[in-house]
Amino acid sequence: MPLITTIEDLRVLAKRRVPRMFYEYADAGSWTESTYRANEADFQRILLRQRVAVDIGVRSTRTQMLGQDVAMPVAIAPTGLTGMQHADGEILAARAAKAFGVPFTLSTVSICSIEDVAEATDGHPFWFQLYVMRDRAFVERLIARAHAANCTALVLTLDLTISGQRHKDLRNGLSAPPRLTLPNLLNMASKPRWCAGMLGTQRRSFGNIVGHVEGIETMSSLADWTAKQYDPTLNWKDVAWIRKLWPGKLILKGIQDVEDAKLAADSGADALIVSNHGGRQLDGAPSSIRALPRIAEAVGHRIEVHMDGGIRSGQDVLKAMALGAKGTYIGRAMLYGLGAMGEAGVTRALQVIQKELDLTMAFCGRTDVRDIDRGVLLDEPPPPAGFPIF
């Protein structure tokens, strides 16, 4: 096994092992990718306050997200086409999350179905992410299936009613399964581990959709259906409708604005996720860590505030907690681990982040992640290249 000490190590290995169209699906943003890059870069500009001569002999990263005990304030984010990064990817990631003690969130546009993940994890609770489609009867069936599968939280994504322009996906002709063009075939031929895994599984399409929508039997019919189904009319009345349908915890994902955060708190949801969809939607939007403090200050006393976008280390987790988040999500960090080494890679990604979180807490003189606040940050402007985040 290669020596893995950082999430970057996993990214480099995943780039070697995953076909280009799927690696770039994960490792890219929309338009100029400025927001995608800012999600990471803005974390680096936040300075930490080192303390010494503090008793740090006993430390804990354990806390709760939505009342659920977690090994650290990190959940696995919903990511589409996870099963194209590695065969049966959603199942492998869910198993790793279960063993580690953090929540796993399954995407609507996953390769493995809700039922696949439930069976593979022996009914262990997980979370399900919902896209609202024009076909509301299908949405109702998805919600019922998630409830039957023992999903304890529904993550409703609000920021993908239309899709951002993702140039790399367009150039690569992204599809699941991949289009067998000559460039794609040649690239896949250079990834023998990935090919062997895909030959060994029957899960190569959208498991939550194929077989659950009448008339969807081929990839062309699936592509036509999904292209027409994202609903640009989604509004807060739909959120209220879903709140009535869903009996468990409800999380609203894609909040960037304080006014929207207030509406989320008014909606009866249990948590919101400060998110710009990993820089894959509105290019030029603020990074998630830049948007977080204002939202946490405005509504953190009314609704649990989480965040995603740009987290590549345990230090990033600590900085998000210091600025008001009660939980964080990793998407790309998980995908890099999965693409690099399958289930073991996801576990390694979680181990790396937890160790970095634990050590950074210690250097900042803190022993319990639940006590993290702005006191761990230096209250001074970042370097001249930017402007203050908080």
Q: How far apart are CA 177 and CA 278, in angstroms?
A: 23
Q: At residue 134, what is the residue type?
A: R
CATH label of the domain that carries residue 277 = 3.20.20.70
Residue 4 has pLDDT above 50, yes or no: yes
pLDDT, one tens digit per residue, over 227-241 is 788 899 999 999 999
Q: Which residue has the higher pLDDT, 2 or 386?
A: 2
pLDDT for residue 380: 61
Residue 377 is assigned to a structural domain of this protein: no
Residue 47 has pLDDT above 90, yes or no: yes
Q: At residue 275, what is the residue type?
A: S
What are residue 115's phi and psi, to 5 degrees? -70, -35
Tokens 């929508």 belong to which residue? 213
78 is in an annotated binding site: yes
pLDDT mean over 283-293: 97
pLDDT above 70: percentage of residues in the chain: 95
Say if CB 158 and CB 234 are below 8 A apart. yes
DSSP classification of residue 287: P
Q: Alpha carbon of 215 to those of 202, 220, 222: distances in Å?
A: 20, 11, 9
Q: How far apart are CA 311 and CA 331, in angstroms?
A: 8
Residue 389 has pLDDT above 70, yes or no: no
Residue 33 is assigned to a structural domain of this protein: yes
Backbone torsion region of residue 306, taken as left when φ is above 0, otherwise alpha when ψ lies between -120 and 50, otherwise beta:
beta
**Domain range for 300:** 7-372
Q: How far apart are CA 181 and CA 172, in angstroms?
A: 10
pLDDT for residue 180: 80
HSE-up of 6 (CA within 13 Å, CB side)?
Answer: 9
pLDDT band, very low/low/confident/very high, at 305 (cuts 50, 70, 90)? very high
309 is in an annotated binding site: yes
336 is in an annotated binding site: no
Max CA separation in the chain (angstroms): 67
Give the residue ranges of DSSP H helices in 190-331: 192-199, 219-229, 236-245, 258-266, 288-299, 314-322
Residue 267 has pLDDT above 70, yes or no: yes
User: Comparing 202-211, 253-262, 274-283, 348-357, which segment has the lowest mean pLDDT?
Assistant: 202-211
pLDDT, one tens digit per residue, over 15-41 is 999 999 999 999 999 999 999 999 999
pLDDT band, very low/low/confident/very high, at 223 (cuts 50, 70, 90)? low
123 is in an annotated binding site: no
pLDDT, one tens digit per residue, over 109-125 is 999 999 999 999 999 99
Catalytic residue among 86, 167, 277, 306: 277
Residue 94 is assigned to a structural domain of this protein: yes
277 is catalytic: yes
The predicted model scores a pTM of 0.95
Residue 388 is assigned to a structural domain of this protein: no
Q: Indicate the angle between helix axes 343-363 and 314-322, nearest 10 degrees.
A: 50
Say if CB 268 and CB 299 are below 8 A apart. no
pLDDT mean over 73-86: 97
Residue 384 has pLDDT above 50, yes or no: no
pLDDT mean over 131-144: 96
Say if CB 361 and CB 369 are below 8 A apart. yes
pLDDT for residue 237: 98
129 is in an annotated binding site: yes
Residue 388 structure tokens: 């203050």
**Residues whose CB falls within 8 Å of the CB of residue 39, separated by 6 or more in sequence, listed in order:** 276, 278, 279, 287, 288, 289, 309, 310
Residue 389 is assigned to a structural domain of this protein: no
pLDDT for residue 322: 98
Q: How far apart are CA 390 and CA 382, in angstroms?
A: 10
Residue 384 is assigned to a structural domain of this protein: no
62 is in an annotated binding site: no
pLDDT for residue 43: 97
Residue 381 is assigned to a structural domain of this protein: no
DSSP classification of residue 160: -
What is the four-CA torsion angle of 188, 119, 254, 289, rounded to 10 degrees?
-80
Residue 21 structure tokens: 């169209």
Q: Alpha carbon of 258 to those of 158, 272, 285, 291, 370: distances in Å?
A: 15, 12, 14, 9, 24
Q: Indicate the helix (H) or strand (E) that contains 63.
A: strand 63-65
Structural domain count of the chain: 1
Residue 281 is assigned to a structural domain of this protein: yes
Report CA torsion sign: 246, 250, 253, 258: positive
**DSSP bridge partners of 153:** 127, 249
Residue 13 has pLDDT above 60, yes or no: yes
Mean pLDDT of the chain: 94
Q: Which residue has the higher pLDDT, 379 or 317?
A: 317
Backbone torsion region of residue 298, taken as left when φ is above 0, otherwise alpha when ψ lies between -120 and 50, otherwise beta:
alpha
pLDDT for residue 226: 73
